[in-house]
Homo-oligomer: A and B are copies of this chain.
Amino acid sequence: MTTTDEALRTAGLRATRQRLSVLESLRERPDAVTAQDLHAELRGAGEPIGLTTVYRTLTALAGAGFLDTFDRDGEQAFRRCGEVHHHHLVCETCNRVEELSGDDVERWVSQAATRHGFEVTGHRADIFGICAACR
């Protein structure tokens, strides 16, 4: 049983060829990708899949917590993410994303929220920069 299958099962989605190809493509990808780009890439690789399905699959997986979403210049970008909560270090040149553990951040979040009387529902902390390879 592959992790790919598990993800679909957990999300309550049937394992269709299209969804498997999306997950497979996302699996080892280090950078975030948009629905449009992923669709073009899959089509280019000969995988039969419609843009609508790519959108629906990515949205469903993100909703189930398997993907993180970024906003890239007005477009949604998606990336597979680990099980535990974390943050991102994004290279603005190559779009590569590295995951960061965020203990420090978690602490800051709860303290700041408490101080302002907020009930926390979520947070996001990302760092943007140029990675070593791109410099």
Contact = CB atoms under 8 A, between A and B. Distances in A.
A91 B130 CA distance: 32
Copies in the complex: 2
Contact of A113 (B107, B118, B121, B127): B127
B104 A130 contact: no
Contacts of A130: 118-119, 121
A128 B135 contact: no
Interface centre among A109, A125, A126, A127 (most CB of B within 10 A): A127
A64 interface: no
Interface string A30-57: 0000000000000000000000000000
Contact of A124 (B92, B116, B126, B132): B126
Given A104-B104, A112-B100, A118 B127 contact: yes
Contact of A128 (B98, B107, B108, B122): B122
Given A121-B129, A122-B129, 10 more contacts: A100-B112, A102-B108, A105-B125, A116-B132, A117-B132, A118-B130, A119-B129, A121-B130, A123-B126, A125-B125
Interface of A: 71, 74, 76, 89, 91-92, 98, 100, 102, 104-105, 107-109, 112-113, 116-132, 135
